[in-house]
């Protein structure tokens, strides 16, 4: 089944003076998915999200949200999205219910519907018990959930959430994750950023990795996990003949790269390997058979974070 793209960018570019923050970005987020937009600080996540939220004009290229152009149909885009920025201005001297009532009014939701809506939103983000407290009195995690409730007031199709889990303690992060799952079950498409993959990995159905303004990898979680399989990393320790072993390994099938281990890392050589377990056992057998003094031959435990680090290594200059 092919799903419809609900967020799409083509050749998107954003320059700040001489700095190109987003470079020719082609991105597709399908309807109903939770798309994790992952990259280190300064990669261009916030810039991309602000363009999608119509708060920033791109230098060139096109971006569409729910079928509307961020250039020509800004109002329609704004109605279709709920945006939660990385730094939010929150009105601390309002009561929690008032805060949501105020933003619902901004979306022209009539007063008689608003009361019920505010109750529903508070229940959704588990803040009903704090409805009469001042916003200032909430914890950071609660404020984050309140902002999410605000972004939901007009029942948008797409949520654009910029680092919603950042600065939260583990419990509050779990709460945000649970909330995202619930929102996906409600049929929302969620475009969520993080500079820590493991923070959002669990809830994402798709991932896009951005580095220096460019998308370096994108796909379903399953595809990304396969990418890990395709990027197995071995550490080989030798009692001697290291240069010779490096050249020999580089010539073997399924070996993508061999590099000397620098610093205090374990072993002498790091090998990127794309084969299965059988191929791995064969490589060891043949290496020993070729007379190399192998002391250690071990696969490094890989997770998505590792793959992400390796994928982005080549892009950063
Ligand atoms: P973070 O996780 O730190 O928020 P990010 O991936 O969201 O990072 P952006 O905030 O989009 O990255 O920044 C991308 C690049 O653009 C960075 O080098 C940043 O310094 C630069 N940048 C962002 N906003 C501006 C601006 N208004 N003027 C000049 N440069 C900017």
> Is residue 177 over pLDDT 50?
yes
For residue 26, what are the CA distances in angstroms to 8, 134, 191, 216, 249?
A: 7, 42, 15, 11, 36
Question: Between the CA atoms of 10, 11, 15 and 19, what dihedral angle is there, to the nearest 10 degrees?
Answer: 130
Q: How far is the CA of 259 from the centre of ligand 1 (A)?
A: 33
Does CATH place domain 230-312 in 3.30.70.920?
A: yes
Instruction: State the distance between the two ends of the chain, measured CA to CA, in whole angstroms.
Output: 39
- Burial of 38 (C-beta count, 10 Å sphere; 0-12/13-18/19+): buried
Q: How far is the CA of 46 from the centre of ligand 1 (A)?
A: 7
Confidence of residue 232 (pLDDT cuts 50, 70, 90): confident
pLDDT at residue 317 in the model: 34
Contact 96, 129 (CB under 8 A): no
Question: What percentage of the chain exceeds 70 in pLDDT?
Answer: 92
For the chain, the domains span: 5-220, 230-312
Q: Is 195 in the pocket of ligand 1 (CB under 6 A)?
A: yes
CATH number of 5-220: 3.40.50.300
Q: Does residue 35 sit in helix, strand or coil? A: strand
Q: Is 176 in the pocket of ligand 1 (CB under 6 A)?
A: no
Q: Do domains 5-220 and 230-312 have the same CATH topology?
A: no
Q: Whose C-alpha lies nearest to ligand 1, atom 2? A: 41
> Is residue 169 over pLDDT 50?
yes
Q: Does residue 261 sit in helix, strand or coil? A: coil
Q: What number is the average pLDDT over the span 69-83?
A: 95
> Is residue 316 over pLDDT 50?
no
Alpha-helix runs per DSSP H in the chain: 45-52, 74-80, 96-106, 111-124, 140-152, 170-185, 197-200, 221-229, 242-250, 277-289, 304-313
275: nearest Cα among 299, 244, 245: 299
Q: Is 32 in the pocket of ligand 1 (CB under 6 A)?
A: no
Confidence of residue 107 (pLDDT cuts 50, 70, 90): confident
């Amino acid at each position: 089944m092919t799903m419809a793209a609900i967020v799409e960018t083509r050749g998107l570019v954003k320059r700040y003076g001489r700095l190109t923050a987003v470079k020719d970005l082609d991105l597709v987020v399908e309807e109903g998915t939770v798309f994790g937009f992952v990259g280190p600080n300064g990669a261009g996540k916030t810039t991309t999200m602000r363009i999608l939220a119509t708060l920033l004009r791109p230098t060139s290229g096109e971006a569409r949200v729910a079928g509307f152009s961020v250039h020509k149909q800004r109002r329609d885009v704004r109605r279709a999205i709920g945006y939660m920025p990385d730094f939010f201005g929150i009105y601390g001297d309002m009561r929690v219910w008032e805060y949501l009532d105020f933003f619902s009014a901004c979306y022209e939701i009539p007063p008689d519907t608003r009361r019920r809506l505010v109750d529903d939103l508070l229940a959704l983000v588990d803040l009903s018990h704090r409805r009469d407290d001042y916003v200032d009195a909430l914890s950071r995690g609660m404020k984050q959930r309140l902002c999410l409730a605000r972004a939901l007031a007009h029942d948008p199709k797409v949520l654009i959430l910029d680092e919603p889990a950042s600065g939260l303690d583990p419990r509050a992060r779990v709460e945000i994750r649970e909330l995202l799952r619930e929102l996906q079950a409600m049929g929302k498409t969620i475009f969520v950023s993080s500079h820590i993959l493991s923070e959002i990995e669990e809830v994402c159905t798709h991932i896009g990795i951005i580095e220096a303004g460019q998308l370096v990898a994108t796909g379903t979680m399953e595809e990304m996990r396969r990418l890990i399989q395709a990027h197995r990393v071995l550490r080989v320790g030798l009692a001697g003949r290291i240069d010779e072993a490096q050249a020999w390994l580089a010539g073997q099938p399924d070996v993508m790269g061999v590099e000397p281990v620098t610093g205090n890392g374990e072993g002498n050589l790091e090998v990127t390997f794309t084969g299965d377990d059988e191929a791995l056992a064969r490589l060891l057998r043949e290496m020993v058979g070729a007379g190399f003094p192998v002391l250690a031959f071990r696969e490094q435990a890989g997770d998505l974070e590792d793959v992400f680090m390796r994928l982005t290594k080549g892009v950063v200059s």
